A and B are shown apart, each in its own frame.
Chain A
Amino acid sequence: MTSPFQSIRWRLQVWHGLLLLLVVAGFCAPGYQIALENQLQRIDKDVSQMERRLFRSLMESAKGSLYPGTPETRDGDRPMISLGQLLEYLREKPAALSADVAALFQGHDPGYAYFSIRNSHDEVLLTSPNAPEDLTFLPPAKSEHLEDTRTIDRRREIRRSSPSGFRIVVGRDISQDLDAAKRFAWIQAATCLGLWVLGLGGGWWLSGRAIRPIQTISKTATRIAEGNLKDRIDITDTDSELGQLSKVLNNTFDRLHDAFERQRQFTADASHELRTPITILLSETQRVLKRDRTPEEYRETLQTCNHTGQRMRHLVEALLMLARQETTQGLNGHAETCDLAGVLEDTRVHLAPLAADRGITLHTDLHSAPCQGDPGALSVLAANLVNNAIQHHQGASGTVRLSSGMRSTGEPYFAIQDDGPGIPTEHLPHIFERFYRADKARTSAAGHTGLGLAIAKAIVDNHGGEISVQSTPGQGSTFEVTLKNDRSV
């Protein structure tokens, strides 16, 4: 977390804040607008009501003077008068407004109302004493009745102009309403801000919760990077995306740990395997050099040293072979068509003398099994398996059978079967491991490095094949290698 804006939490927070602001503003601003408009409509209704009262009062007054003597209470009995007549009437003599109407249009107290009436020649016919100086009228109408409503300078006015030349402005002071609207706007803004802040807080909390597993993962990964390879991420919620990620990471850590362990074990084993022969070399040479010896004794010591040197050579060669097989993936272009039957026949010829020394007969039952493979590696594979069978054969005499052929599924295979002591079941899963020895004995004197089967497995893996072993203690073991179908390689 070097800079706040590099942290996911902060970025989430910023985006969340912006979106929330948009949403809150998007709700509040139209809300304010609607409230304001409602208020204006109410005012307009109010103003037009006042206008109507003014009008009625003017009409009453005009009717009263045009048709005197008619009882006022019965409206319907008086004939209607037109706007033109009203204009005429107003021009000729000042109209007397009823007291309650006149009381409406006076003073400058907040919310006061005013009016002004003109004819088409801009003559002021009637005006309330409190009408502002700067009143403007609609232009004289030609044929249509003109009307508008406007807000000007903290006042709301209705203006009309009729074709008959009657022009009127009725207005009202709305400073109180405007102040109320302003207060409302402030309250609205404060509420919005409060909501936003609340939302931001909630977002911060949520993103913190969402990110907490990531922090756990990060801390665990750091501990692992520091060398604690056995540490794992504690997964409580296995179904969430982060749970899945943790699972994947834990699997990766497991695999890394295994690879690391194997590597460590291998190095330890390799150095362990080399330590004994070096001890022999040192011990023998130091012992012999302590005093003068007979040529016979020197010869014996040199033989021991030579034998030990050979042993180290075998070990180093086997290690190199294994390393080469394990570092290359696949056949790397070494593949060519070869016949497993031919490979096994060569192996038999090569190992027959060694087998004979130990009283073991090599039998073959070879059928052509063409495959794609590295012939060099395949002969090492066959030799290792046959050698293994010979080395572990403890009886005075025995038989090792080499067979090859094609499976019904079209895959080439070969098998090495011996009638030796077999491998105890508990060791079977481990025999392909490096330096694993079923008897825990070091039979290295016989040129056995403990790597033969590991190399065999690596070679088979590189050929994309399978190696399996079946063993019955006391009756012998069978190693089977099945390679991939010729055409599928």
Chain B
Amino acid sequence: MRVLVVEDDPDLRRSLAATLREENYAVDIAADGGDGLDKAKQNAYDIILLDVMLPELSGWEILQQLRPANTTPVLMLTARDAVHDRVKGLNQGADDYLTKPFDIEELLARIRALIRRAAGQTLPVLTIRDLSIDTASRKVLLKGEDIPVTAREYALVEYLALHQGEVVSRTTLYEHLFDEDDSTLSNLLDVHVSNLRKKLGPEVITTRRGHGYCIE
């Protein structure tokens, strides 16, 4: 999952990025509104964390320019907690609203929920036949048995499971699993897929030649 964090406070930006990376998100950061808008337009993110008070362009302005063309879930982070501020945010196309200061766990839970909902899933545990993926505890279970997977492997299987039945191209996968600073070669994806097949069984992830991967 790839996240864009638009936050002007350097300490908070660093801290949020570190937290999300430890949760295996691919994280891009932007320190001002202009940079944030550019990145949000250029890259395919699974979620955008948007501060309201930003230099150059405010969070509201970014939101206005993104919607309705861009449907990426947006979680507003702001220090303003008046009801009308929250209502304004949600009315202008934000998907959720979190008031500073917040608990990291709540932020993570909301991010997970927003990503899940954007993919059309309602439950935190994704079940596909024998396979179940617990997005809250980030665990992969096969027939009730905990299968140890690496962070990248988990991210890969989670993305495919969220988009169950869709053929996901290698480019899309690459975009959503690696952040802008990541120089990992795209053929690493094949390595991750083959490792997952070894752990979960060969038939879980199918390859569509020339199109991409799919969990049916």
Q: Which residues of A are interface residues toward B (Cβ below 8 A)? A: 268, 271-273, 275-276, 278-284, 286-287, 290, 304, 307-308, 439-442, 444-445
Contacts and interface: CB of A to CB of B under 8 A. Distances in A.
A287 B19 contact: yes
A275 B101 contact: yes
Interface size class of B (residues with CB under 8 A): 20 to 34
A317 B120 CA distance: 50
Contacts of A440: 53-56, 58
Q: Is the interface of B mostly helix, strand, loop or mixed?
A: loop
Interface stretch (B4-12, B62-70, B180-188): B4-12
Contact of A282 (B18, B22, B102): B102
Interface string B28-61: 0000100000000000000000000111101000
B46 to A, nearest CB: 20
Contact of B11 (A272, A282, A290, A307): A307
Contact of B32 (A278, A441, A444): A441
B100 A276 contact: yes
A282 B104 contact: yes
B48 to A, nearest CB: 18
29 contacts: A273-B79, A275-B79, A275-B101, A276-B100, A278-B100, A278-B101, A279-B12, A280-B9, A280-B12, A282-B101, A282-B103, A282-B104, A283-B15, A283-B16, A283-B19, A287-B15, A287-B18, A287-B22, A304-B11, A304-B14, A308-B11, A439-B55, A440-B54, A440-B55, A440-B56, A442-B8, A442-B53, A442-B55, A445-B10
Among A272, A276, A278, A307, chain B packs the most CB atoms within 10 A around the CB of A276
Contacts of B8: 441-442
B203 interface: no
Given A441-B32, A441-B55, A442-B53, A304 B9 contact: no
A446 to B, nearest CB: 10
B1 to A, nearest CB: 18
Q: Is the interface of A mostly helix, strand, loop or mixed?
A: helix
A286 B16 CA distance: 11
A282 B80 CA distance: 18
Interface of B: 8-12, 14-16, 18-19, 22, 32, 53-56, 58, 79-80, 82, 99-105
A57 B44 CA distance: 143
A279 B80 contact: no
A278 B103 CA distance: 10
Given A287-B18, A290-B22, 12 more contacts: A272-B79, A280-B11, A280-B15, A283-B15, A283-B16, A286-B105, A287-B19, A304-B15, A308-B11, A439-B55, A441-B55, A442-B55
Contacts of B80: 268, 272
Contacts of A275: 79, 99-101
A280 B56 CA distance: 23
A444 B58 CA distance: 18
Contacts, number: 69
Nearest to B9: A276
Nearest to B16: A283
Please name the 3 residue pairs, one residue from A and one from B, whose CB atoms are nearest each other, closest first.
Answer: A441-B55, A275-B79, A278-B101
Contacts of A281: 101
Contacts of B56: 440
Contacts of A445: 9-11
A284 B79 CA distance: 18
B15 A284 contact: yes
Contact of B100 (A279, A441, A442): A279
A77 to B, nearest CB: 124
B197 to A, nearest CB: 29
Among B10, B11, B32, B56, chain A packs the most CB atoms within 10 A around the CB of B11
Contacts of A273: 79
A271 B82 CA distance: 12
A283 B22 CA distance: 13
Nearest to B52: A272
A358 B14 CA distance: 24
Contacts of A304: 11, 14-15
Contacts of A272: 53, 79-80
A440 B58 CA distance: 9
Nearest to B80: A272
A279 B11 CA distance: 10
Among A278, A283, A308, chain B packs the most CB atoms within 10 A around the CB of A283
Nearest to A444: B9
B79 to A, nearest CB: 4
Contacts of A442: 8-9, 53, 55
Contacts of A271: 79
B104 A283 contact: yes
Contacts of B14: 304
B2 to A, nearest CB: 19
Nearest to B107: A283
Contacts of B11: 280, 284, 304, 307-308, 445
Contact of A283 (B12, B53, B55, B82): B12
A272 B9 CA distance: 13
